[in-house]
Amino acid sequence: MADTFLLEVVTPQSVVVSSDVEEMSAQGADGEFGVLPGHTFFFTQITPGELMYRFRSTSRSLMLGEGFAEITHDRVTILVDSAKQE
């Protein structure tokens, strides 16, 4: 199993993040969710809030608007109306 997965955060204006990460968390319709490599597939609504992700010892965060996320075992694709670096 891989140690990372691809995280892509896309707004109507641009690709905000396209990077391999080790873990991430965000606000979904049913509350906060976290993803690690090899996660099971699911699809969820994204509610406004913080997205945090980590690669090696570097953590970063974004403030997300509304949208959707598709999670697979090797990729997370988040489509939102806005995303701003923290």
Handedness of CA 30, 55, 79, 74 (dihedral sign): negative
The model's pLDDT over 6-53, given as tens digits with 9 standing for 90+, comes to 999 999 999 999 999 999 999 999 999 999 999 999 999 999 999 999
Give the start-to-end residue ranges of the domains of the chain. 5-85
CA-CA distance, 9 to 62, in Å (whole number)? Answer: 10
Taking Cα atoms as reference points, which of 72, 6, 81 lies closest to residue 44?
72
Instruction: Assess whether pLDDT exceeds 90 at residue 1.
Output: no
Look at the domain 5-85 and name its fold: ATP Synthase; domain 1 (2.60.15)
Taking Cα atoms as reference points, which of 31, 9, 28 lies closest to residue 82?
9
* 67: Cβ contacts below 8 Å, ≥ 6 apart: 45, 46, 78, 79, 80, 81
